[in-house]
Amino acid sequence: MPEFILGVDYGSRRIGLAVGQTLTRVANPLTTLANNGAFLDELQRLIQEWQISGIVIGYPTTMEGEEQDITRQVKNFTKRIKHHTGLPVHWVDERLTSHEAERQFKDQRAAQLTKAKNKTQIDAMAAQIILQSWLDQTSAP
């Protein structure tokens, strides 16, 4: 039976989300949520709606693989997510995912959108890249 996995691109202002399936092993951008007090409730709603069975979060490091301030934020965020959802959480190296998402977005853009709209779509695409990387690295069930 296929399972749905949620991909997460953490940001201090916005959190990009993607959903993927273990049967097809394909991730798709889902949405971007504001990183505020309503985030956990919105996340729980999406988890129930999609019947999510696991979460993959991008783990940010420097190009040399060293931790930085955002890495510590992601570690704390991961603890909150595990506690709030009770779901298994996995990390994936996310170096360059936002740059790749921006490149892909520019390649795919057919219509002019506002800058804020672009950023929210880029965040969801970064989450897609993170999740796709995890799906590609893990063995099929």
CATH number for position 87: 3.30.420.140
Question: What mean pLDDT is predicted for residues 104-113?
Answer: 48
Return the percentage of the chain with pLDDT > 90, whole number.
65
The helix (H) or strand (E) run that includes residue 70 is helix 69-85
- Give the start-end residues of each E strand in the chain: 4-9, 14-21, 26-34, 52-59, 89-93
Question: Torsion-angle region of residue 36: left (phi > 0), alpha (psi -120 to 50) or beta?
Answer: beta
Give the count of domains, the chain: 1
Q: What is the pTM of this model?
A: 0.83
Contact 8, 55 (CB under 8 A): yes
Domain that holds residue 68: 4-137
Beta bridge partners of 8: 17, 57
Question: What mean pLDDT is predicted for residues 33-57?
Answer: 97
